Amino acid sequence: MIYELFLILPMMLIVLGALMLMLLSHREAPLNRNMLSVLILALAFGLTLSRLGEAHSVFVFEAIFGRSFIVDSFSTLFDLMILGGAMLTLLINHDYFKSRHYFDGDFFALVLFAVFGMMALSHAHELISAFISLEIASLSIYALVGYNSDNPKSREAMMKYVVLGSLAGALFMLGLALIYGATGSTELGAIAAHIAAHPQDAHTMLIIGGFFVMVTLFFKIGAVPFHAWVVDVYHGAPLPVTMLMASTFKIALFAVILRIYLGDFAALGDFWSLPLQILCVLTLIGGSFLALSQSNIKRMLAGSSVVHAGYMLIALNAITLGNFNASESILFYLMSYFISSVGAFGILSFLAAHEHKQLTFEDFKGFGYSHPYLAAMMSIFMLSLAGFPSTIGFLGKFYIFTGAIEAGQIALAALGIFVAFVSIFYYFRLIATMYFYDTPKTEQHFGFDTTTVLILLMAILSIWGGIGTALLPYLPTPDALIELSRHAITSLD
């Protein structure tokens, strides 16, 4: 009892912190709510960190909740990624929060509720719980997207996301009803037992239900053809929310996708494989077109996040074909994408905090001479996102493509590599714009503060992830991350 309470203590902390921030939100007293929420997240992070590495798998309060919530090594790793992601997102936006008047206590309370929903999602071992957790996270994010209600773009983005997101949520419910009808349970273990006990061709209804669930999850990660909202919503949302959606929320979604398709629906892999391949091809090609056609950096990063989702779908497809090692490459890719995209968005948010302007490619002309250090770091993030060797993005793509080739998906891996070459166009376009134009503006320097230090940290992490293995033999390396992920995945079986 006490041990189980200890296991869910991080989640309880987050909820209590969110409630506290909610109640404090009307207070005028000067209070650094950003740092307070970071502190709460850090406490939960520390508590979760103490469990990292020990193999465990416990159903929380099994007598009361059935087997709907699980705490295992897998969820622990994902909790750490979600908490760390939210923490870094809040910290890197420190200047941005100060420069805008509309970030009050409610904002941070909503962020914490969203983080709670994401954590619950990685713990869900039952589809209704998964749905509720998904909705807790989604509803908070809907509100966050439209948080700057003075900005019509922000309101439009919220409306789009709410309407399309609720539709996707309804599809999840429909799929769930079909799965329940087919198997008589919504608990993942019971569904797996049902699949194992019946012949392969007796699962039509279950597969249709599974497809509906899949549609919802792929809508949320923004895979083509469910991507119509991505660019507008990412553009309309305040930058911190865009970062939260693009990186942390995606991590949580892959937690539940991996749990469902790796553990319990794995036996039906043959049926998932073909639609996943089609989705991969569509997502990679459609996302590239989306990213190529943008003139705004925020929109370009939003479009390219669709392509990155496509790379991870390649690995997911390799999993359905039986190459379970590919799941580690998804985890590694999530981390590498998180580091590079949060860094790039962080620079945008830093500039938006200090120089009020719309950040298009035009604005970046001569940026390399007016802001030499920031431009250098931006180049690192762009290289990493494009998957240039010696950055963490390269290793992430490398693991994904080798995983796909091991599973026999050579055509898909080749398409992935081709799309990575295409992505060099729009990432290097920014680098070229920064360095190939003169600027009348004088050189500007910024001192060290929370935001700049974190941007620097992200840049160092991108490089360390790429070549750290060779340079620093005594420090933890990307291999250690892979080892950690492998360890976490084993707790699913």
Partner 1 sequence: MDHMNVANPYFGVFVLFVLTFGAFFATTVIARLASRAMAAKDTEKLKLTVYECGPEVTKQPNRISPQFYLFALLFLLFDVEIVFMFPWAIDFKLLGWFGFVEMMLFILLLAVGFIYAWKKGALEWHNIK
Dig out the tokens for 119 from the structure: 């954590």
Beta bridge partners of 274: none
Smallest separation, CB 10 to partner 1 (Å): 18
- Does position 19 interact with partner 1 (CB under 8 A)? The reply is yes
Placement of tokens 């391949």 in the chain:
277
- Does position 197 interact with partner 1 (CB under 8 A)? The reply is no
Pick between residue 19 and residue 55 the one whose CB is nearest to partner 1.
19
Region binding partner 1 by CB under 8 A among candidate stretches 19-27, 92-100, 134-142, 250-258: 19-27
Pick between residue 199 and residue 440 the one whose CB is nearest to partner 1.
199
Dig out the tokens for 405 from the structure: 């080739």
Residues 6 or more apart whose CB falls under 8 angstroms from that of 470 comprise: none
- Does position 228 interact with partner 1 (CB under 8 A)? The reply is no
- Does position 31 interact with partner 1 (CB under 8 A)? The reply is no
Number of residues that bind partner 1 (CB under 8 A): 6
Q: Looking at 25, 151, 360, 370, which residue binds partner 1 (CB under 8 A)?
A: 25
Q: Looking at 4, 6, 22, 173, which residue binds partner 1 (CB under 8 A)?
A: 22
- Does position 28 interact with partner 1 (CB under 8 A)? The reply is no
Pick between residue 23 and residue 376 the one whose CB is nearest to partner 1.
23
Region binding partner 1 by CB under 8 A among candidate stretches 16-24, 130-138, 140-148, 284-292: 16-24
- 366 neighbors 434 (Cβ within 8 angstroms): yes
- Give the burial class of 15: count Cβ atoms within 10 A of its Cβ; 0-12 exposed, 13-18 middle, 19 or more buried: middle
CB atoms within 10 A of CB 410: 11
Dig out the tokens for 294 from the structure: 């943008």
Residues 6 or more apart whose CB falls under 8 angstroms from that of 99 comprise: 352, 353, 354
Q: Which helix (H) or strand (E) holds 42?
A: helix 33-49
- Does position 57 interact with partner 1 (CB under 8 A)? The reply is no
Pick between residue 26 and residue 357 the one whose CB is nearest to partner 1.
26
The three-point CA angle 10-309-159 to 5° equals 75
- Does position 26 interact with partner 1 (CB under 8 A)? The reply is yes
- Does position 12 interact with partner 1 (CB under 8 A)? The reply is no
Site for partner 1 in 372-401 (CB under 8 A): none
Pick between residue 27 and residue 441 the one whose CB is nearest to partner 1.
27
Q: Looking at 1, 2, 29, 64, which residue binds partner 1 (CB under 8 A)?
A: 64
Please report, in angstroms and rounded to a whole number, the separation of the first and last CA atoms in the chain.
25
d(CA 479, CA 262) in angstroms, rounded, equals 22
Binding site for partner 1 (CB under 8 A): 19, 22-23, 25-26, 64
